[in-house]
Structure formats: structure tokens, C-alpha cells
Amino acid sequence: MDGVLADTTEQFFQFDERDFGRRRTWEEIIGKPESIGFPNAKQYVRTKDFFRTAPVMSESQLVLSELNKRYEVFIVSAAVEFPQSLFEKYEWLSEFFPFITWQQIVFCGSKAIIEADIMIDDHFKNLDPFKGQTILFSQPHNLLQHSSKHKRVESWSEIAGILL
Amino acid sequence: MDGVLADTTEQFFQFDERDFGRRRTWEEIIGKPESIGFPNAKQYVRTKDFFRTAPVMSESQLVLSELNKRYEVFIVSAAVEFPQSLFEKYEWLSEFFPFITWQQIVFCGSKAIIEADIMIDDHFKNLDPFKGQTILFSQPHNLLQHSSKHKRVESWSEIAGILL
């Protein structure tokens, strides 16, 4: 969800700019976990409405609505670490992805218990142990990591090209 | 979680008695889905604090704490149908099962996406499609259903006998 459907990186940029008075440069955050790239990140993710007001990733609504017609789609978010975000994330999904039903939503701590055929994620820690096909969604924090196992994509239209 | 760790049946009894002025008899609810056995059940599960104040199933704390030392335990709750319950369920688990970390909690809509070796559940709909070992926790709503596939247990001490 975060970094794939929700543009949490942009949300971090905006919260960070509010605190530091200038937009952080791309170079300052590349290859760094968000908690390092944005010094107050750990505070932001516990701030009310951080997840509720996150921008939607470009093209994700159209592509996911098409995927949803052809695949059994689940939205899996490692959200339980921030329990106050659970309801916000549910509301956010309901607003921006109304075609996703409650039956299709999973909020977990670890994604190790998830069984599926394809996983789209921005974290190597989630993709590495996954048994099925893996698609790595490019985000600044994962740009310096490489793996031949995962297909890296830069956008949802690239996902459409692979899966539709 | 519900009907296994949380004694939601007892919670239904208590909410029901508050509305109807007498405790419903066991015979009135046996074999019926909760939404039939307790006429206002659909309203109760959307009532603030219904899940937060549910009684803990007898012996579950001791047995689960022992299981947690020997197994990789996940608490999987089909909670997303009632999104306002998500935070309540997290708080409830934190209070009564403090040894369960956020990494071990999964809130989902459907349990079909869950991969594990053993499932303890009170619903045939969750156990039937599960590929691993299945343990059916007896609850009034499932008492008239039978299956040779699932091992029925009446208590957490029976679970201890099987798994510890």
C-alpha cells in the first residue's frame, strides 16, 4: 500500500518541508530508509491523518481497477505497527479504491504469512521471502538495492504492461 | 480471535440480555449464526467497545503464552468488515496477550490468503479451504456442523493437550 498505492514518499516530502522550510532534494534521500532520509519520519507516521491524506500514486487507480477485473487482488499493508493508522488506511482505500471490498484488505505486521502468486512491493524485506512472482516498485529508499530476482518497475503503467 | 481468544458469545449474551431483559437460553442459539441467534447482533458488532470489552476465553492466556514459546504464532482476525473494531482489537490484544507483538497480528477480510501449518478457528468457512492442520473451536453456532477433517475441541486445555 505505502510506496505503491499511496505516495507516502511525497507525503514525507511535504511534512518534512513544513518542518524544515525547504523541500529536501532527491539526492538527500536516495538509498536511505525513510526514517533516515526524513529526520522526523518516525513522528510523521504516528501523526493523525498522515496516512489518511497521503496522495494517490499516479495511474494506480486505473491500473488496479483493471487488474481487479482479471485477478484476485488483495491489498496487503504492514500497518499494525501503527495501529492508529488502521482505520485511516481503511478510509483511504474506500475513498480512492472504492472497487476494493473489505474482503480484499489485509492489515498485518509481517507479510511472511501471506500466500499469493504475485507480490508488488517497494521493500526487499517483503519480496525476498515471497515464493511467487515479485515486482519491485521503485522508491527512493530502494534505489541503491539490486536483485535479479525481482522485476523493478518505475510506474503503474509498467505494471499494466506486465500484467494486463 | 473472536470465538477462540475473545469470548464474543458471552459478550453477545450480555448485550442481548441488556436489550431483552433475560438471558437467552443455550437452546435458543445452538446451531444458529450469531446474527440469527442474537437478533441485534449486527448492531452489537458495530457498537463502540463491543470488541474492546469482550471477555477473554478461559485458559487462553496461559496456553497461548506457552504455544508462543514453541510455535511461530499469528493472531488472524477477519476484522476488516468492521473497520471501527480494528483499533479496539489491537488494544484488546495488547491488554490481554501482551506477549503477542504487532508483527504477529493480522487483520483481514478473508482468511483465504493466510498460509500457515495449523489453524484454530470456530468457523467452518475458514477451516474448510485451509491446507494445513485444522482445529475447530466449539462455539454454539458451529455445534450442529460436523466434519471429519477438523479436530473439534471444547477448551484451550484441550488445545494444550494436542499442541504442547
Between CA A11 and CA A100 the distance in angstroms is 23
- The closest of A72, A164, A158, A66 to A114, measured between CA atoms, is A72
Q: Which amino acid is at A21?
A: G
Quick one: DSSP state of residue B141? G
Binned at pLDDT 50, 70 and 90, residue B15 comes out as very high
The shortest CB-CB distance from A102 to any of B101, B109, B114 is to B109
Q: Which amino acid is at A73?
A: V
Work out the average pLDDT over B34-44: 97
Q: Are B118 and B138 in contact, with CB atoms under 8 Å apart?
A: no
User: What local confidence, expressed as pLDDT, does residue B49 receive?
Assistant: 97
Assigned C-alpha cell, B76: 488472524
Helix, strand, coil percent values for chain B (each to nearest 5): 40, 15, 45
The 10s digit of each residue's pLDDT in B65-105 is 999 999 999 999 999 999 999 999 999 999 999 999 999 99
pLDDT in tens, B110-132: 999 999 999 999 999 999 999 99
What residue in B sits closest to A107 (Cα-Cα)? B107
User: Dmax of chain A from CA atoms?
Assistant: 45
Q: Please state the φ and ψ torsions of residue A108, each to the nearest 5 degrees.
A: -135, 180
The whole-angstrom separation of Cα B73 and Cα B1 is 12
Cell 478510509 locates to A91
Phi, psi of A119 (to 5 degrees): -125, 130
| Cα B120 from Cα B136, distance rounded (Å) | 6
Residue type, B122: D
Chain A residues in contact with chain B using a Cβ-Cβ cutoff of 8 Å: 74, 76, 80-81, 83-84, 86-87, 90-91, 101-110, 113-116
Q: Choose, out of A76, A87, A107, A115, the residue to mutate when testing the contact with B (most B CBs < 10 Å).
A: A107
Average pLDDT of chain A?
Answer: 97
Q: Which of B6, B56, B114, B117 is nearest to A108 (CA)?
A: B114
**Chain A: nearest CA to B101, how far in angstroms?**
9
| Residue at grid coordinates 456442523 | B145
Per residue in A98-151, pLDDT tens?
999 999 999 999 999 999 999 999 999 999 999 999 999 999 999 999 999 999
Report the pLDDT value the prediction gives residue A46, as an integer from 0 to 100: 95
Q: If you average pLDDT over residues B148-155, what whole number do you get?
A: 97
Q: What is the pLDDT of residue B136?
A: 98
Selected residue of A77, A113, A114, A119 to mutate for chain B interface (largest B Cβ count, 10 A)? A113
